[in-house]
Amino acid sequence: MTTPPPILYPRLLLTGAAGGLGRVLRPRLKPHCQTLRVSDIAELGAAAVGEEVMPAPLQDALAVDKLLEGVDGVVHLGGVSVERPFDEILPVNIVGIYNLYEAARKHGTRRIVFASSNHVTGFYKQSETVTPTMPVRPDGYYGLSKAFGENIARFYFDRYGIETVCLRIGSSYPEPKDRRMLATWLSYDDLERLVVASLSSPVVGFSVIYGMSDNPVVWWDNASAKHVGYQPQDSSAKFKNAAEAKQLKLDLSDPAVIYQGGGFVKNSPI
């Protein structure tokens, strides 16, 4: 008989619960809390057993304040998740994360797992290996907003003691879609392992971790983040032949091939 996982939090909040990764994590997080509160501005469906459904726009400070009432921990996936004009990024990804941390401070929330992004360092070259302590090099307004989120998390830990694990998520899909993702791929099972490790580690302080599986091609060095106990068990290796068959040749002058951010380094959403 399988032993159920320990209850980590009386009430855990999942923002962005209607998004791609939110839908993956929603059923996987419920065993780790007594009550899972899910939020988004998109349709969330009916509350399952042990769930609370609370839609809230992140740019609405009063709504976010109410959203954080009674919340012990947060998995924050909410926000714009692709490159967009700055005017679209600003209210949700920048004002919204300020609202989240300020509400967490007021209500005594003790830990946040923040879905940052590999695009915080997207302008490093694919020939480089990046550590979480190296200077950020955002590849667009989206990456810039995630760098701001990491900074506000650092500030709220230093001043108020709210612990945060910032997850610089790579490419989390059922399988890699191209050759770039052989390095950036994060399986759904490893995503769950990473988030649960971030929620359950006794002490995390302010931590930055790259979200990747145990891939043979490595651009990111997570050695400084071993204290959270994340151990990926999947690998992109089995998808190598299929991914390379889709891209038999690479244009080595293409910025999307030169830089780790891929197509984000040259997207122009304006």
Check whether 270 has a pLDDT greater than 70.
no
How many helices and strands in the chain, by DSSP H and E?
9, 7
In terms of phi and psi (left: phi > 0; alpha: psi -120 to 50; beta: otherwise), the region of 228 is alpha
Check whether 226 has a pLDDT greater than 80.
yes
- Strand pairing class (51-53; 33-39): parallel
Asked if residues 220 and 210 have their Cβ atoms less than 8 Å apart, the reply is: yes
What pTM was estimated for this model as a whole?
0.95
Compute the distance between CA of residue 139 and CA of residue 131 in angstroms, rounded to an integer: 17
Say what the pLDDT of residue 236 is: 98
Q: Tens of pLDDT along 55-100?
A: 999 999 999 999 999 999 999 999 999 999 999 999 999 999 999 9
Check whether 269 has a pLDDT greater than 90.
no
Check whether 52 has a pLDDT greater than 80.
yes
**At residue 159, what is the residue type?**
R
Say what the pLDDT of residue 23 is: 98
- Tell me what percent of the residues of the chain surpass a pLDDT of 90: 92
Compute the distance between CA of residue 114 and CA of residue 169 in angstroms, rounded to an integer: 10
| Per-position b or e across 200-230, b if 16+ CB within 10 A of its CB | bbeebebbbbbbbbebebebbebeebeebeb
Check whether 3 has a pLDDT greater than 80.
no
Kindly state the average pLDDT of the residues 122-133. Answer: 97
Compute the distance between CA of residue 165 and CA of residue 150 in angstroms, rounded to an integer: 9
List the chain domain ranges.
9-265
Q: Which residues are catalytic?
A: 142
Could you tell me the pLDDT band of residue 48, with boundaries at 50, 70 and 90?
very high
Find where tokens 């290796």 sit: 237
Could you tell me the pLDDT band of residue 5, with boundaries at 50, 70 and 90?
confident
CATH class held by domain 9-265:
alpha beta
| Residue 231: closest CA among 249, 213, 250 | 213
Q: Tens of pLDDT along 185-206?
A: 999 999 999 999 999 999 999 9
Q: Torsions phi, psi of 234, nearest 5?
A: -105, 165
Compute the distance between CA of residue 178 and CA of residue 239 in angstroms, rounded to an integer: 9
Asked if residues 184 and 170 have their Cβ atoms less than 8 Å apart, the reply is: yes
Asked if residues 267 and 261 have their Cβ atoms less than 8 Å apart, the reply is: no
